Structure 1
């Protein structure tokens, strides 16, 4: 008989199992019963802690990084994009953060519903902070460009292990990608116009 878990340990085990299942078999096929079996708990406990599979999905997609803390004081740097990329890459080196980000990316790509939840999370917790550093009336558009650039870098370095990205140093990538991020935030977008807000 396995030792009795503390409530916090059971909750953590369920979240870990959910991230694994959402990433491996997709949102549609990751049932509460299957997640409970992987976590080693009764399915009723999953419902008790999270209420529904949708709520469990939302909980499993929580951002593992405090974006406000990550960007604090970044406006004082002469090339804020390079500093932003440098800080993000440094945090990604932490195994717990790396694992959580990978789980988020894989889960978000597993099903349309998961993608919608991840998109809303990124809009709320990432782009909402990043756009504070963007200039002009198109700050939301600029922040979205930064988000796309950073998501692509994360996919290439962490998920796909593209050799040129995975093996590059933090400074190499920061110096290569950072100026583009700075241009997205404060520079000339070469005549690009953001889409009009939905009415």
Structure 2
């Protein structure tokens, strides 16, 4: 008499699957940019079906906008005294980028901008709104919006030089030295 194995029970954990899809999407978008990323590759890495990705996110653009902003360095680094803000932001940015392994919002924006400008603009707007909300808790003045945009542009420029193209003195600089330089330049933008 042969014993038949009981069929595996399917587990339904939509939040766990959604989290896996978002993590896979962050990796794929950061590695390839928006244009070359495929929903099928994201589904494969997440260990789900293409249809489940579409069920959770109606389009590749919606998935991109949901996945790429990821955890914010701002929620941890902005609160605190105003004078220490540049050092906190510089330290958190460098730590995050050094450990991101290529899967970071700034990298995704850069890689996506050339092919899908409207999507990259949507992501940049989302990052800008998140940044404005955080920095308005600490910075004051009529020019906060402009200063926050300058901070973003500065960090995106560093991202291109050090983490995307990885060429030149900025790319070769030890992380601690980068934190020092970045603290000084952010101080000018944020506080002066």
- TM-score interval w.r.t. the shorter chain? 0.7 to 0.9
List alignment gaps of at least 5 residues for structure 2. Answer: 1-9
Partner of 1:57: 64
Partner of 2:146: 141
List alignment gaps of at least 5 residues for structure 1. Answer: 188-199
Residue 87 (str. 1) matches residue 92 (str. 2)? yes
Against the structure 1 CA distance between its residues 138 and 66, is the aligned structure 2 distance closer, same or farther, given a 3 Å change threshold? same
Q: Distance in 2 between matches of 1:23 and 1:89?
A: 17
Aligned length: 183
Larger radius of gyration: 2
Q: Distance in 2 between matches of 1:137 and 1:143?
A: 12
Residue 150 (str. 1) matches residue 179 (str. 2)? no
Q: Distance in 1 between matches of 2:169 and 2:18?
A: 38
Structure 1 position 37, deviation (Å) = 5.1
Partner of 1:119: 124
TM-score, normalization by structure 2: 0.73
1:99 pairs with 103, 121, 145, which one? Answer: 103
Q: Distance in 2 between matches of 1:32 and 1:91?
A: 26
Partner of 1:15: 22
Structure 1 position 108, deviation (Å) = 3.7
Aligned residues of 2:30 and 2:111 also touching (Cα < 8 A): yes
Moved over 6 A (4+): none
Which range moves more in the overlay, 167-176 or 22-31? 22-31
Residue by residue over 1:79-101, the C-alpha shift from the partner in whole angstroms, topping out at 9 and shown as x without a partner, is x42442123212333346x5334
Structure 1 position 172, deviation (Å) = 1.8
Partner of 1:162: 167
Paired residue secondary structure (2:104): helix
Aligned residues of 1:86 and 1:170 also touching (Cα < 8 A): no
Aligned residues of 2:30 and 2:104 also touching (Cα < 8 A): no
Aligned residues of 2:34 and 2:108 also touching (Cα < 8 A): no
Q: Distance in 2 between matches of 1:87 and 1:103?
A: 16
1:72 pairs with 65, 79, 82, which one? Answer: 79
Structure 1 position 159, deviation (Å) = 1.6
